[in-house]
Amino acid sequence: MQLDPRTLFTVLVTLYACLGFVCLFLPYRMQGSHAVSYWGWGMLALALGSAGIALRGVVPDLVSIVAANALILGALLFIQASASQGRALASYAFAWAVLGVSTLLIAYFTYVQPDTSARIVVSSFAMALLIVRPVLTLIAAVAGASRRARLFTAACLSVAGLLMLGRGMSALRSGAITDLHAPNAVQFAVILLFGVCAVLATLGVVWMEIEQLQADLARLAMIDPLTGILNRRAFMLEYERELSRCARERTGLALTIFDLDRFKDVNDTYGHLVGDKVLRGVAERLRASLRGHDVLGRYGGEEFALLMPGADTAAALAGTERVRLAVGAQAIQAGALSIPITVSAGVAIYGVNGSDWESLLRSADAALYEAKRGGRNRVSAAQAMPAEAGGGAPA
């Protein structure tokens, strides 16, 4: 059976072009990062370069040799940008230098001292060298989202790089290749396997994008969109986690419920848009005043909930008082408006004021009611388990 490299390159052109268009289409459907887009442009550059090689002998050598190899090497710059999550192409000085030097050497071995083997050595080693950076970038980022996809893509690129390295070493040793389109089992196999690696690596990049989007969706499902802190569902999950840890380590756990004083007046006077800005400002001040391991969430409306792991009554009261002072220290700016805001807070300790979430929350709510009734802008500690039926706190 005769192996026809020209036919192989023609098939690869179609394959790379399809992969490129699919990748360029995905970001608009998935609203993902630039990683897939850059990979798509890389596949299209690879398709154009392979088309030039397939047309060798039909079009001028400037197109089929020099430009074709430059496009294939340029494709690896797009792949490097993809691995770096969309970093600007102009920032890859070393990669541009490799591309430029390699293109000049290929032109030299085309026009000044024609040597097909030398061109294969230059292009193969340059490709292997340009693949190193995206592989290292992918491996360095495996601690974040899409870990498995990154490792898979890095493995595919590593195999492609090793194939190019082997191809260059083979051409360097033999030095007898005079026509790239002449049947050659080794060259045919390497180019075919490189195409397989390109397909698998493209699947890896799409996999990376999907996993990243899943991570983003999971994060958005846990975050209150207005204030940027945990929503009620996420806060309850953190409560269960902290409760388990505190039970295991035999440490305390305090719950504080904050409520903005007279927030209804803000909405009635200035409107809900200003009210939203006030809520965001309060959330920022709450978050800035917490310890590193405290857990803050928006429990509903103008109420915020705070978990303080390891805190007893005294520590919880001191921490809550610090937060209260930080919120009311100065007015919150909402455009040209300067709106003074204070908070009232109720503090309850797990195991002292409640043995489960419902009883703990009732204790904190009862303490919050006492703070409101006592004049607002103050902190109150739960003294005893509240009755089952209790009134709501005043605004």
Active-site residues: which are they? 302
The amino acid present at 226, given as its one-letter code, is L
- What values do phi and psi take at 88, rounded to 5? -60, 140
Closest alpha carbon to 156 in 206, 231, 108: 206
| Strand-strand pairing, 379-381 and 343-349 | parallel
The amino acid present at 299, given as its one-letter code, is Y
Decide: 157 and 135 in contact? Cβ < 8 Å: yes
Using the CB atoms, write b or e for 33-52: b if 16+ within 10 Å: bbbbbbbbbbbbbbbbbbbb
* Residues 6+ away with beta carbon under 8 Å from 272: none
Decide: 79 and 35 in contact? Cβ < 8 Å: no
d(CA 181, CA 259): 77
Strands (E), the chain: 253-260, 295-300, 303-309, 332-334, 337-339, 343-349, 379-381
